[in-house]
Structure 1
Amino acid sequence: MNRKLSIIGAPMDLGQNRRGVDMGPSAIRYAGVVERLEQLQYDIEDLGDIHISQPDRKEVIEDSPLRNLYEVAKGNEQLAMTVDAEVQKGRFPLVLGGDHSIAIGSLAGVAKHYQNLGVIWYDAHGDLNTSETSPSGNIHGMPLAVSLGIGDERLVNIGGYEPKIKAENVIIIGARSLDEGEKELIKEKGIKVYTMHEIDRLGMNKVIQESINYLANKVDGVHLSLDLDGLDPQDAPGVGTPVMGGMSYRESHLAMEMLAEADIITSAEFVEVNPILDEKNKTASVAVGLMGSLFGEKLK
């Protein structure tokens, strides 16, 4: 694991319609992420938060059904440039969300540095919607599709190139709420998905080992995109779109520990922490604990 970490806050709450997730980066910092990772002997640079423009409520983009398209695109362009600059310096970008639409910018900044970037999408949702398939028009349900080159051109072309990633290099872990359009796209593109059904049947140990083996000889880097709603709401209540029956706190620690041992993760983001919906900052603390495991913290 790269010992030089750059923490980048992306306080985006415009990719969906529940306020408060813009405070996610602050909540994660308050839960002690910098101190936790410094204890593991990492060289930490906290770059603070990128600026997210707020929409002018008098102006509506009439040519798109996507919520806050202009501001989401602008914020992700800025995030892509920031992430790109840190990768160029030889540093590991660790992005704190914010809603999951920020993955568009993270991947745009990272993927240009790899021939075949792998992606582990740890999430209850597939985030493979488009303007045609989305029930809501919320862009936080679209970042994986956008990164595959599918969707509105203002999002797809962020960073000046597309696609960012290939479907055969993507693994979704923890899915349990997929829209019909997403299911069709998964079949069409052959995307590897471990739903909760597979996790329950196989166990997290086998799921992560299979995922590591699947990516091993195909990719030259792996981006981890971890949505806290991938965990069960009992363990991570402070998220905007909770789905019952998710991965446990302990299963998620095992997953992070195994990824740390495999030493394959080259960039990461932790998203959808919403302190307004949380219980005493529990979800942010869970996020920090999982980061500890991902970056090599051991029980003994």
Structure 2
Amino acid sequence: MKTNISIIGVPMDLGQSRRGVDMGPSALRYAGAIEKLEELDFQIIDLGDIPINRPAQSDLNDGSNLKNLKQVIEANQQLGDMVDQEVKKGNFPLIFGGDHSIAIGSLAGVSKHYENLGVIWYDAHGDLNSEETSPSGNIHGMPLAVSLGIGHDNLINISNYTPKVKPENIVIIGARSLDPGERAVIRDKGIKVFTMHEIDRMGMSQVMEESIDYLKERTDGVHLSLDLDGIDPSEAPGVGTPVLGGITYRESHLAMEMLEESGIITSAEFVEINPILDEKNKTATVAVALMGSLFGEKLK
């Protein structure tokens, strides 16, 4: 019997500096995400969108270099609580972003239910910065570091525990833009990374086989965090931080199909869709197509 899917929208653009990504959940719904999943015989529980508080002028000088820290914490705490409840009910949490800072809450809600949660970070970036290493102060470049217990105390302790994930349980796929501080974390923590160099040399099939085998050995559940900027901007243009030379549409479908066949994915999020920067909702349409493959859509 197929698991129920609980959809939670997080219309937040406060983890970065370009407006518009808060419309991501609406873009995904408009592109037919719910209809796609219903066609695959899932029972969909759409919990709507978490309300996001905009910062007051007085919040902008809170003594932190991190932008919108208070609001990002509030939203992620609420998301973590909602995800926690859905996992307790036996439902599959599927989160629609919003910028990638929402992964802090996703992982906070999921990880407490697993001894060794695995994470696949499908992204052009490592998102391993902290207040000390970030060039921008944008929290959407920090969620993986925060989940490892690196960063501001109030961020890492969302849901009252830290860390959410162990470095040896993470696989980053598609990286091609890493800051010096992020490279240091990858090196120091021994995080497994398949950059575009490896994808080009090995092919996506081998990259996914190795990723799945690696995580199957050591985890009891795997969260997929898929940032649409992992895909090449020629095919997913509606993202705030596009990086040329990304994963292709077809490679991404293959990756999702192999994850579905492996049976290891227990929660997921699709983030960083910015309709203002998009072309006729193309990026959300790509995301919905990839959801289809992740949840078992087949050509025959």
TM over 0.5: yes
Amino acid paired to 2:203:
G
Question: 2: CA distance between counterparts of 1:59 and 1:270?
Answer: 28
Number of the residue aligned with 1:229:
229
Number of the residue aligned with 1:183:
183
Contact residue 6 and residue 47 of structure 1 kept, 8 A = yes
Aligned length: 300
Number of the residue aligned with 1:11:
11
Matches within 5 A, 1:92-103: 92-103=92-103
1:204 and 2:204 aligned:
yes
Contact residue 2 and residue 266 of structure 1 kept, 8 A = no
Amino acid paired to 1:245:
G
Amino acid paired to 2:294:
L
1:13-50 alpha-carbon deviations (Å, 9 max, x no partner): 00000000000000000000010000000010100001
Matches within 5 A, 1:35-114: 35-114=35-114
Number of the residue aligned with 1:266:
266
Task: Give the drift of 1:254.
Answer: 0.2
Amino acid paired to 2:159:
G
Question: 2: CA distance between counterparts of 1:162 and 1:115?
Answer: 13
Question: 1: CA distance between counterparts of 2:61 and 2:204?
Answer: 43
Task: Give the drift of 1:62.
Answer: 3.3
Contact residue 6 and residue 46 of structure 2 kept, 8 A = yes
Question: 1: CA distance between counterparts of 2:117 and 2:90?
Answer: 16
Question: 2: CA distance between counterparts of 1:61 and 1:106?
Answer: 27
SS of equivalent residue, structure 1 residue 60 = helix
* Gapped regions of structure 1 (runs ≥ 5): none
SS of equivalent residue, structure 1 residue 293 = helix
SS of equivalent residue, structure 1 residue 186 = helix
SS of equivalent residue, structure 2 residue 160 = coil
Amino acid paired to 2:18:
R
Question: 2: CA distance between counterparts of 1:273 and 1:30?
Answer: 13
Task: Give the drift of 1:221.
Answer: 0.1
Question: 2: CA distance between counterparts of 1:190 and 1:274?
Answer: 32
Question: 2: CA distance between counterparts of 1:59 and 1:5?
Answer: 36
Number of the residue aligned with 2:253:
253
Amino acid paired to 1:65:
N
Moved over 6 A (4+): none
Contact residue 128 and residue 142 of structure 1 kept, 8 A = yes
SS of equivalent residue, structure 1 residue 65 = coil
Task: Give the drift of 1:2.
Answer: 4.9
Task: Give the drift of 1:59.
Answer: 3.0
Amino acid paired to 2:220:
D
SS of equivalent residue, structure 2 residue 60 = coil
Number of the residue aligned with 2:145:
145
SS of equivalent residue, structure 1 residue 93 = strand
Task: Give the drift of 1:299.
Answer: 1.1
Contact residue 2 and residue 92 of structure 1 kept, 8 A = no
Task: Give the drift of 1:60.
Answer: 2.3
Distance 1:87 1:2, change over 3 A: farther
TM-score where L is the length of structure 1? 0.99
Contact residue 60 and residue 67 of structure 2 kept, 8 A = no
1:224-282 alpha-carbon deviations (Å, 9 max, x no partner): 00000000000000000000000000000000000000011000000000000000000
Contact residue 3 and residue 90 of structure 2 kept, 8 A = no
**Identity percentage over the alignment?**
71
1:158 and 2:127 aligned:
no
Question: 2: CA distance between counterparts of 1:112 and 1:53?
Answer: 26
SS of equivalent residue, structure 1 residue 59 = helix
1:88-125 alpha-carbon deviations (Å, 9 max, x no partner): 10000000000000000000000000000000000000
TM-score where L is the length of structure 2? 0.99
Question: 1: CA distance between counterparts of 2:217 and 2:233?
Answer: 35
Task: Give the drift of 1:137.
Answer: 0.2
1:182-239 alpha-carbon deviations (Å, 9 max, x no partner): 0001000000000000000000000000000001120000000000000000000000
Distance 1:136 1:203, change over 3 A: same
Amino acid paired to 2:122:
Y
* Gapped regions of structure 2 (runs ≥ 5): none
Question: 1: CA distance between counterparts of 2:38 and 2:81?
Answer: 25
Contact residue 104 and residue 147 of structure 1 kept, 8 A = yes
Question: 2: CA distance between counterparts of 1:62 and 1:22?
Answer: 23
Contact residue 127 and residue 140 of structure 2 kept, 8 A = yes
